[in-house]
Structure 1
Amino acid sequence: MAEGDGVVTRGIRIRLDGTERATDIVALHKWLEREKPLADLARIDQLRITEQSRTDEAGTPMGTGMDIVVAVLGGAAGALFQGVVDQVRRSVEAWQANRRAVEEGDPPQVRVEPVQPDDR
């Protein structure tokens, strides 16, 4: 592996507001994986989408809450990062619109925020 390959240099945390159904995290995660620009980056190992236990500000796990983390990998992360943030935000908005159309009730509110690898 070349230097910088597979190394997380920037990340994006996607946090649902706590009103989500148990299936919302899984559905949003799968939605993001199918979004072509994100899928293309994942295929060439420039991006990874994972779920992780939510933590409080002290780093302690909080209940069963989960966040989705989009990690931009390798040396190209700096140049790609803002475009990936914008794409993730558009993808989340599309998922919310789709969920609203196919399920009863409003979808959860979602925060999309850049984080440093250590802040996740």
Structure 2
Amino acid sequence: MANNTIRVRMVRGANDADVAALKAWLEREHRLEVLRNGGRLEIREQPSVQDPDSSPMGAAMDIVLVLVGAAATKLFDEVYEQVKSGVRAWRENRRAVERGEPPEVEVAPENDGR
């Protein structure tokens, strides 16, 4: 099955407020917002899938973006790049408005085994 899911995980220095703020930021990214409003993209929080080798530090939730519909595979690369760009912009903004370094964030495709 083709990828249609992108997982955004804060790996260090994050709290639940950071997760909520990044999710809201991604929801306002214009291209993602258009897809979401059209029912072609879902953005939600899910319990974090921690790597067993990673430390338990960080937020307990990940942000999951799921492309919906037959055209999802064609859109995947575009959405993946938009998510990475949105995460970079959010980190720059957070650095400008809050003290300290923003959390490190991983953006990765995920096989949707459902």
What TM-score do you get using the length of structure 2 for normalisation? Answer: 0.87
Give the root-mean-square deviation of aligned CA atoms: 2.2
Unmatched runs of 5 consecutive residues or more in structure 1: 1-8
How far does residue 117 in structure 1 lie from its aligned partner after superposition? Answer: 1.3
Could you give the per-residue CA deviations for residues 5-64 of structure 1, whole angstroms, max 9, x where no partner exists? xxxx61000000131133100000000000100000001111000000013468xxx796
State whether structure 2 residue 21 is matched by structure 1 residue 27: yes
Unmatched runs of 5 consecutive residues or more in structure 2: none
State whether structure 2 residue 97 is matched by structure 1 residue 102: yes
Q: Where is the strand percentage greater, Structure 1 or Structure 2?
A: 1
**Equivalent residue for 2:38?**
44
| Structure 1 stretches of 4+ moved >3 Å | none
State whether structure 2 residue 62 is matched by structure 1 residue 67: yes
One-letter amino acid of the structure 2 residue matched with residue 55 of structure 1: V
Percentage identity across aligned positions? 41
What TM-score do you get using the length of structure 1 for normalisation? Answer: 0.83
Question: Matches of 2:101 and 2:63 in 1, distance apart?
Answer: 20
CA contact (8 A) 2:9 2:107 kept: yes
